[in-house]
Amino acid sequence: MADFSLNVNGRTVQVAAEPDAPLLWVLREQLQLTGTKFGCGIAACGACTVNVDGIAVRSCSIPVGAAGHRAITTVEGLSSDRTHPLQQAWIAEQVPQCGYCQSGMLMSANALLQAIPAPTDADIDAAMTNLCRCGTYTRVRKAIHLAARLMAGARQ
Amino acid sequence: MQTFGYVSGALTLAASWPGAAAVLKESDAALTDQATALTAWVRITPANEVTLLLSQAEIGQGIATTLPAILADELGADWSTINLLAAPFAPDYRNPRINFMFTGNSESIQSFHDLMRRVGAAAREMLVTAAARRWQVPASECTTENSVIVHRKSGRQLTFGAVARQAAQLQVPRQPKLKANSELRLAGRSLDRIDVPAKVDGSAVFGIDFALPGMLNAAVRTAPAIGGDLRSMNEAAAMSTPGVVKVVRIPNGAAVVADTYWNARRGLARLDPQFDAGPHSAVSSDSLAAEYLQRLSSGPFVTPIQAGNLDAALARATRVVTLDYANPFLAHATLEPMNCVADVTAAQCRIFAPTQGQELATYALSAALGLRPEQIDVRRSPYIGGGFGRRLVPDFVVQAALISRAVGRPVKTIWDREEDMRRDLYRPATMVRLRAGLDSSGHPVAMHARVVSPTIILPVAPNYAPMMERQGFDPNAMEGMMEWLYDIADRRVEFHLLKLPIPTSVLRGTGYGPNLFALESFIDELAALAGSDPYQYRRALLRGNPRALAVLDRAAALADWSGQSAKGVGRGIAIAHAYGTYIAQVVEAQVTNDIVKLTRVVSVVDCGRVLDPRIARQGIEGGVVFGIAGCKAAVTFAEGRVREENFHRYRLPDLAQTPELVTEFIEGGGPLGGIGEVSPVTVTPALANALYAASGRRLRSLPIGGHGLAFN
């Protein structure tokens, strides 16, 4: 057991954990950030996706000890009031169904838009490898395009 | 902010709205103490907060929006401020068709629509009567709107909350007058789903997120082999793991209970449980295929359908064609793995679970724990990460209860993906043999169908066991095979109920999916033999069925069926009448060097009347992706155990593999049909037919990987 200082959603938090504990379970069980979901444990489904320094990372498969002081963002960190352009776009397109994959979808999309502000369909295909059993994929694509437009509008 | 907790015997489901933001708090005294119940379904506080009970599990299908909207519409409640509670198990919340509480079979709307209308109208009449008495005016002069009762002549108004207490004293009207459809404000509109806001900010509480005070967490490992059991374990090593509280022996395995789930997982790794090979180590996909084929040839069969004179008609036929089709085992693979919070004492069992079957779970717990049903309280988590029928089966609930009882504390048990895949009750593999006698034009005049399938219905309806033993067939496994759209006078349908050690149960689309894959592939093959266009061939066979023709024609038109297609691109068509709904589909696929790219799927659906166009469309389009998954992934067996133990081997379609989806509804009238399970049914044959059109290769079994093909 060791003490870690993590930077989560813009705040510095202290946790006590085994260094090899997956970031996912530290977020869920010690920080009560339960928006990040457990799906497969092998980085195959993407339900646990968070952003680490702006990069989409599958938190089930990185140990908390590797997080260091890098900036971790979870779905709860997108905004405090559902005003993030991705959340607005997700609501406008009514993307979620069961919703279990959606936190991971949003965080993959967030990393995508930070890297590529106006992604093409091919960019979306390549970046959005999260699994959705309800089949919300076509709305995910539309919502990412909409969020990109919202963000571009906000920059002008 | 989404809240979740006990509120007057129910769990809060969706309390928050963009803009409206009516928030239900866990300790909302106004609701718990002062809410007036008008029927089992409606609660109203003096402050005019209207809360509706939701009997059906929200598993992604949107029922938490569509079903209460039906009630609210009749009631005249303000939809933008409505609160919802997930109903506990009680007789009031049973599906009225079969008098049992469950969510499944695509029938929530079909079975509850009229009840919701009646309940809403009854509560409205009670409120109106109470207000009319206070005003001393005839009730017939009063109406409701936005949770307010209005006396039109005088313009006087009273909120629901102002008269709810008096209204509750009145007799519940048995035959309340329903509104005319033209008076309905919500029906037929695309409403914003009530669950969306909480699903974009991480606040939605799924079963896996629920916690009780003092709760422990359990990780379990049962034998990888079906029917296997624990041989040895290192209990001392597990117990020396930080946070671990107890090791519990459970049927077929062991659970490690700890303060956190991750510590339980660490403990489980150190427990290092070893398992025997189980009693079915000779079972493999090859051995199963041989067994199916043998039964398909030699039976014995029961004959649920015998119409006309098949043998005479076959003898008269110009040509007889016999072909076999095989469907694979499939896994539910809900993205939220099985989990359950249980709090069991000697006298009481409290459950909080992502379940589709609160009533069946109650009875299973009663049997497993030796408690009376009234000592058991099965609550449903407000949100559930996919269902597809898996969560009708109470095995994971019972397991969690046994672990809690052994520890004497509330425990949340979470299966990892491997456990979830190994302990699934799979959509069974089936084999279908179809034999048709053709006339000189190549049209079938006689058909003979044989189905070999293990049970589908038994795990979700154990009370069917005596009927199945007596009749020798499973009604669910025969869905789509008993009633054909194609009118063929001379026909025989035979069934062999296969007894397998592999647990099998319902999965979105059973048994229509496997049967329609065979039937609609077969019709396509007959069309090819006749040298006919598969669409026109079906048209000719469906002449007497205008609703079927309407969806078929519209799908063909939307898909530009007769238009030129590029090299390597093919279109496949299929039609079904399933769950009370007509659907026709055209799949467009491109095959290049054995790589399949689906370019477009057109679905045209007639479910009678569409209550919420956007949610219905989501159900159909999500179902298309689910159907594609059934062409891509399959469960196979070796040495008595499942091979696909996680998503790296059970490969589901992703965004890049999802084609353009075009969906249209036709309102053909008549009884309401289902939505949730309809579209996967036609995807498999339409896709196989498209692959034939694109490549000349005929797939009589799935997944496509078995034929050297792969999706892009």
| Closest CA relative to residue B536, chosen from B441, B447, B665, B605 | B441
- DSSP-derived 3-state class of residue A51: strand
User: In this structure, what are the phi and psi dihedrals at residue B307, rounded to the nearest 5 degrees?
Assistant: -125, 135
| Pair of tokens at residue B334 | 């809900």
Residue B18 has pLDDT above 90, yes or no: no
Judge whether B337 and B417 are in contact, CB under 8 Å.
Answer: yes
Residues of B in contact with A39 (CB under 8 A): 335-337, 417, 647
pLDDT attached to residue B447: 97
Contact A38 B62 (CB under 8 A): no
User: In this structure, what are the phi and psi dihedrals at residue B278, rounded to the nearest 5 degrees?
Assistant: 75, 170
Minimal Cα–Cα distance from A144 to chain B, Å? 12
Residue A28 DSSP code? I
Q: Which residue of A has its CA nearest to B336?
A: A39
Q: Lowest-pLDDT range, B31-35, B280-284, B615-619?
A: B31-35
- DSSP-derived 3-state class of residue B64: helix
Judged by a CB distance cut-off of 8 A, whether residue B44 touches chain A is no
User: In this structure, what are the phi and psi dihedrals at residue B63, rounded to the nearest 5 degrees?
Assistant: -65, -25
Q: Sign of the CA dihedral B685, B686, B687, B693?
A: positive
pLDDT attached to residue B543: 93
pLDDT in tens, A92-108: 999 999 999 999 999 99
Strand partners, B254: B221, B249
CB contact set of B431 (below 8 Å; sequence gap of 6+) = B292, B293, B295, B296, B324, B325, B326, B327, B451, B452, B453
Q: Which residue of A has its CA nearest to B263?
A: A21
Residues of A in contact with B333 (CB under 8 A): 133
Residues of B in contact with A90 (CB under 8 A): 196, 200
CB contact set of B370 (below 8 Å; sequence gap of 6+) = none
pLDDT attached to residue B4: 30
CB contact set of B548 (below 8 Å; sequence gap of 6+) = B485, B542, B575, B577, B582, B584
Judged by a CB distance cut-off of 8 A, whether residue B658 touches chain A is yes
Stretch B432-453: mean pLDDT? 97
Which H or E run includes B135?
Answer: helix B108-135
Contact A34 B621 (CB under 8 A): no
pLDDT in tens, B292-344: 999 999 999 999 999 999 999 999 999 999 999 999 999 999 999 999 999 99
Judged by a CB distance cut-off of 8 A, whether residue B269 touches chain A is no
pLDDT attached to residue A151: 96
Chain B, window 149-168: residues with a beta carbon less than 8 angstroms from a chain A beta carbon: none
Q: Which of A1, A101, A125 minimises the CB distance to B242?
A: A1
| Pair of tokens at residue B483 | 């009633």
| Pair of tokens at residue B228 | 């296997």
pLDDT in tens, B108-162: 999 999 999 999 999 999 999 999 999 999 999 999 999 999 999 999 999 999 9
Residues of B in contact with A49 (CB under 8 A): none
Contact A134 B622 (CB under 8 A): yes
Minimal Cα–Cα distance from B199 to chain A, Å? 6
Instruction: Report in angstroms the alpha-carbon separations of B627 from B535, B688, B706.
Output: 21, 12, 17
Query: Does B300 sit behind a cis peptide bond, omega within 30 degrees of 0 on the bond before it?
Result: yes
Stretch A78-92: mean pLDDT? 98
List, in sequence order, every beta strand (DSSP E) within B268-416: 274-275, 302-307, 319-327, 339-344, 349-353, 376-380, 411-414
Judged by a CB distance cut-off of 8 A, whether residue B306 touches chain A is no
CA A52 to chain centre: 9
DSSP B436-463: EEE-TTS-EEEEEEEEEE--SSTTT-GG
pLDDT attached to residue A1: 82
d(CA A44, CA B633): 15
Residue B558 has pLDDT above 90, yes or no: yes
Judge whether B292 and B431 are in contact, CB under 8 Å.
Answer: yes
pLDDT attached to residue B499: 95
| Closest CA relative to residue B681, chosen from B543, B565, B587, B568 | B587
Stretch B502-521: mean pLDDT? 98
Q: Which residue of A has its CA nearest to B206?
A: A100
CA B58 to chain centre: 10
Residue B461 has pLDDT above 60, yes or no: yes
pLDDT in tens, B673-699: 999 999 999 999 999 999 999 999 999
Q: Which of A22, A45, A97 minimises the CB distance to B622?
A: A97
d(CA B238, CA B257): 10
Contact B654 A130 (CB under 8 A): yes
Contact B60 A75 (CB under 8 A): no
User: In this structure, what are the phi and psi dihedrals at residue B30, rounded to the nearest 5 degrees?
Assistant: -60, -40
> What is the percent of chain B where pLDDT is above 90?
93
Residue B35 has pLDDT above 90, yes or no: no
pLDDT in tens, B37-85: 999 999 999 999 999 999 999 999 999 999 999 999 999 999 999 999 9
ipTM of the complex, rounded to two decimals: 0.98
Stretch A58-67: mean pLDDT? 96
User: In this structure, what are the phi and psi dihedrals at residue B280, rounded to the nearest 5 degrees?
Assistant: -125, 35
| Pair of tokens at residue B425 | 């009750």
CB contact set of A130 (below 8 Å; sequence gap of 6+) = A45, A46, A47, A49, A101, A104, A105, A108, B654, B655
d(CA B104, CA A155): 47
Q: What rounded mean pLDDT belongs to chain B?
A: 94
- DSSP-derived 3-state class of residue B661: strand
Q: What angle do CA B474, B334, B413 make, to 5 degrees?
A: 105
- Mutation target for B interface from A87, A133, A144: give the one with most B CBs within 10 A: A133
Indicate the pLDDT class of residue B1, thresholds 50, 70 and 90.
very low
pLDDT in tens, B599-637: 999 999 999 999 999 999 999 999 999 999 999 999 999
| Closest CA relative to residue B479, chosen from B628, B579, B552 | B579
CB contact set of B510 (below 8 Å; sequence gap of 6+) = B389, B427, B428, B456, B476, B477, B479
Residues of B in contact with A30 (CB under 8 A): 260
Count of beta carbons in the 10 Å neighbourhood of residue B368: 18
d(CA B288, CA B279): 15
Residue with tokens 């498999």: B684
Judge whether B265 and B273 are in contact, CB under 8 Å.
Answer: no
d(CA B449, CA B324): 10
Indicate the pLDDT class of residue B33, thresholds 50, 70 and 90.
low
d(CA B398, CA B386): 20
Contact A40 B208 (CB under 8 A): no
Which H or E run includes B431?
Answer: strand B430-438
pLDDT attached to residue B11: 34
- Say which residue, B31 or A97, is predicted with more confidence: A97
pLDDT attached to residue B552: 98
Indicate the pLDDT class of residue B19, thresholds 50, 70 and 90.
very low
- DSSP-derived 3-state class of residue B29: helix
Minimal Cα–Cα distance from A147 to chain B, Å? 13
Residue A44 has pLDDT above 60, yes or no: yes
Residue B166 has pLDDT above 60, yes or no: yes
d(CA B269, CA B233): 10
DSSP B403-414: HHHHHTS-EEEE
Residue B24 has pLDDT above 70, yes or no: no
d(CA B677, CA B574): 15
List, in sequence order, every beta strand (DSSP E) within B328-392: 339-344, 349-353, 376-380
Stretch B475-485: mean pLDDT? 94
Pairing mode of beta strands B376-380, B411-414 = unpaired
Contact A99 B201 (CB under 8 A): no
Q: Lowest-pLDDT range, A36-40, B4-8, B30-34?
A: B4-8
Indicate the pLDDT class of residue A155, thresholds 50, 70 and 90.
confident
d(CA B152, CA B155): 5
Residues of A in contact with B683 (CB under 8 A): none
Residue B418 has pLDDT above 50, yes or no: yes
Contact B335 A39 (CB under 8 A): yes
Judge whether B682 and B574 are in contact, CB under 8 Å.
Answer: yes
| Pair of tokens at residue B274 | 């070893």
- Alpha helical stretches, state H, chain A: 23-25, 85-92, 102-115, 121-127, 137-155
Minimal Cα–Cα distance from B597 to chain A, Å? 13
* Interface contacts A/B by beta carbons within 8 Å: 179
Stretch A30-39: mean pLDDT? 98
Phi-psi region of B163 (alpha: psi -120 to 50; beta: other; left: phi over 0): alpha
Indicate the pLDDT class of residue B526, thresholds 50, 70 and 90.
very high
Judged by a CB distance cut-off of 8 A, whether residue B242 touches chain A is yes
Stretch B373-378: mean pLDDT? 96
pLDDT attached to residue B613: 98
pLDDT in tens, B76-117: 999 999 999 999 999 999 999 999 999 999 999 999 999 999
Pairing mode of beta strands B349-353, B6-7 = unpaired
Contact B625 A74 (CB under 8 A): no
Q: Which residue of A has its CA nearest to B655?
A: A137
